[in-house]
Amino acid sequence: MRSVKVKNYDEMSMEAAMIVFDKIVHSNRLVLGLATGSTPEKMYEYLSDMLNKNKVDLSHVTTVNLDEYVGLSPEDAQSYTHYMRRIFFDKVNIPLENTNVPNGVAEDLEAETKRFDEGIEKLGGVDLQILGIGRNAHIAFNEPGTSFDSNTHVVNLTESTIRDNARFFHSMEDVPTQAISLGLNTIMNAKEILLMASGNNKRQALLDSFHGEVTEDVPGSVLQRHHNVTVLTDIDGFN
């Protein structure tokens, strides 16, 4: 694990954008794993600006998103498909057919999880996976207790995750209770991982994940077993 200490959220976002930009411009073919939520928002803003100012062709880039809420259509303003289009895809010249987000309204959700894993395998795997981390150390929507051997699956969201995500909805009752998420095994198959963590409310999750016991009670701790992880953080006392 390589740790990069930054001053604040803005510097973390810029550093992450530079890492991703460098990967894009120096690759002939790139499979990029993308995250949603509040943590990567500024990174997408900086990355979009870099790509557009340098007129970078993105036809060689394919994206794979970590997760999607069950029950929200791609047109729903709170869906992660809509989020990705609003915050990144519609701002750059990536072909939409090169973007992949799980289908949260698939008739057969189990079949959708298998389809998604098979799609990643056909692409040759994810080259660079961007991650955030939850206060309970979840990565993607893999809550404490998720098997390290898990592939893409349907998850029941914990009350703490629902509560954390309620700020994006009108009320807590509007937050979906399930999501499709890449599993921990799927994430660990990425060739390189870039994890972003900002704010002292994530401090304990980060310490438990990288300096604690490797246990399924702390989903992020599985990253200790990965050969190429970079952590960008403004959190004091983590290295």
Hey, which residues are catalytic here? Answer: 67, 136, 138, 143
CA–CA separation, 163 and 158 (whole Å): 9
Strand pairing of 2-5 and 153-156? Answer: unpaired
Q: What angle do CA 71, 72, 77 make, to 5 degrees?
A: 160
Location of structure tokens 């960008």: 232
Instruction: Tell me how far CA of residue 138 lies from CA of 117, 132, 133, 189, in angstroms.
Output: 20, 9, 6, 17
For 94, left (φ over 0), alpha (ψ -120 to 50), or beta?
A: beta
